[in-house]
Structure 1
Amino acid sequence: MSLIVQKFGGSSVKDAQCIKRVAGIIAETYLEGNDVIVVLSAQGDTTDDLIAKAEEINPRASKREMDMLLSTGEQISVALCAMALEAMGLPCVSLTAWQVGIHSTGVHSDARIRKIDSERVRSELDQHHIVIVTGFQGIDRAGDVTTLGRGGSDTSAVALAAAFKADRCQIYTDVDGVYTTDPRIVPNARKLDEVSYDEMLELASQGAQVLHNRSVELAKKFHVHLEVLSSIVKKPGTIVKEVAKVEKTNIAGVAKDTSIACVALVGLQHNPGVAFQVFDLLSKSNINVDVILQSIGRDDSKDITFTVHRKDMDEAVRILEDHRDTLKFDHIQTDDGIGKVSIVGAGLMSNCGVAAKMFEALYEAGINIQMVNTSEIRVSVLLDEEDVNKAVKAIHAKFFDEL
């Protein structure tokens, strides 16, 4: 007997027909003799609809109250799925995060899971119940509901798989695996049979939406057997593992992110510790910074440019302006009309010319680069937002159409 964790996204449970199909997948797994823990997202556009309702009442609602509101979406999903399984004569129970004991940090709207209690879920499994858990949420030390950020149900599933040492964690979506890029942009994108944890983490962090980046972090840390597959078509998906076969292209895929904004501090004093002061202030307000570029010092001043999530841009500017006297900069420039395109692959470490090939593709497409950022297995470029999809097509064609 195996323990399998299955997670289904919002599009997989968007209506009654979809929920019944999901219940069929769960039932098949259970009737094969497995213990099953299921994690569900909110139905379809429920989260967006709840956000819209909140804005009608209070556009500046506190993050705590937003978490209280948004967490209801998953509760609806798990109850409806349990009803579908009950109708099939199968024993099951739906549980919220607080009933399970999914303990998180207290950062509303972007909490992290600290630990998971085992008693309730273990008791239900011992009674051969299918356990259906709300994804995307936890409770903090005060007992308040928190949410884990967009895509957080993936993280809930992997965390449960790690906590209960599941044999497999299956992430069901409306696509049948991880592709070399978004097939909605490039119709001939290829499905990967397998991808490494490191490559998947970079792809997810750089905008690929198939998996939440923190779920991949957890899977790598706890060696969770992770699989991405379709809830619509029964066929093999993509295995995420420690070491994966490298394509002849030396890259696993091309990712894009159009949810970012650029902030530039111009005319900072060229003193030791200034960069620390800037990013420490942003960190204390839970603002994540991605690409960073510091200019060469000139006339005792320098510029620091960085990217943040677009929703955090105004707050980042406010925080920095509030500390203008301490930081001693001339002015701030912002740009929320940019996007990021990245190539990711383990082959970047050992093969010369991969980055040059990417830049060649952009040159041939007539696309100008604003900033470049690299890691051992990734090269990212910042571009005008209007050029992002064009860049993805050009880069993908350069690496994959020439095989």
Structure 2
Amino acid sequence: MTPTTTPGLALRLALRGDLLDFTGAPEWGATESPVVRFRPDHWLLIEGGRIVGAQAEAPDSSWPRHDHSGQLILPGFIDTHVHSPQLDVIASYGTELLDWLDTYTFPAEQRYAEPAEAEAGAARFLDALLAHGTTSAVVFPTVHKASTEALFAAAQARGMRLITGKVLMDRNAPDGLRDDVTQAERDCVDLIDRWHGTGRLSYAVTVRFAPTSTPAQLAMAGALCRADESLYMHTHLAENRAEVQWVRELFPEARSYLDVYARAGLLHRRSVLAHGIWLDDEDRALLCRCGAQIAHSPSSNLFLGSGLFGWRAAERAGVHVSMATDVGGGTSLCQLCSLQDAYKVQALAGERLTAWKGLHAATLGAAESLLLADEIGSLEPGRMADVCVWDWASGPVARRRLSVARDLHEKVFAWMTLGDERNLVATYVAGLRVPV
């Protein structure tokens, strides 16, 4: 899947529809919020790949127009934790996290040692993201350098904002998926030199999780982060109780799972930590101090039986929370499905997640957490025109529910709860429409 117009072409485009985005962070539980910006039946103006404005009246004839009236236009979703090689194992039966890795994930990832498989998989994965309404992502490839190369190249060809990096694993992994500290460092440095900051691409120092890296490899990863503060760090944290116990056995000197990363110098403002279910108050205070974010992955947490994420506790502690699908542990690349499950997770914890809080965490909130709010996450002038057009309702049940909705939040919550990728009408990356 490639844009329908040559990337970089300075085109003008006007999209008509119901514009929805955020100007700030909604309060927990508030169904009416001043930071929700809803502009029904407006024109979104795009020039040179960026949003230049929005207006109620139709633009003049110099603007090519796409009329999506009666449909919803949002910033493209941002997925802050997802695995590119795991499309092959999505919806696999019967395991918790550690068995999942051994039974399904690692065999799938071994295939990416072949450059042709890595290239085909990268294209398949990114096209699937776009077809589910996600235009930016923080991605785990595999331990193989070729898989990272392929992912960067495919994202560059599609004009996408992508953050990724070679996975680091030098122990507790099968043959073909282990590296060593010296070679891994060489590979990372080469990939950083070639790809980091190229176009819309950024590099993430990507530690699989603490059990699959020796202390020496964790120290090397921390040194990379210290050498260049513009690098991201991406890993897993406290997803599963058996995993937490394993970390305790492997790192008895650490106060907690999170402390393992802190000791290695891996916690900073660009750190993305997936899951973060089994944390205590001291962990959350540390996350707040370093400015790291939790990539909440509710579909995966439910599917693998990992636990219920304490979103309210994280928010009260000042921790950034963004939304993630975690495919293949998650069962859909569509962030609407993740938000549906996020609502259920919070309901089980005695809380209620509003549409505003959820959608903010998948758009502007995620962009802010990644320090990319000047580029993605909203429909503000100057932002890249990564936008998606959605049907408000698909099918007679959803259409009936929409017709009796009493206010904007009820209408948007019904769309969020009943919708999925079948509601997606169009995806634009930097103002260029891609086939979906």
TM-score, structure 1 as length reference = 0.26
Higher relative contact order (Cα pairs below 8 Å, separated by 6+ residues):
2
TM-score, structure 2 as length reference = 0.25
Q: Between Structure 1 and Structure 2, whose CA radius of gyration is higher?
A: 1
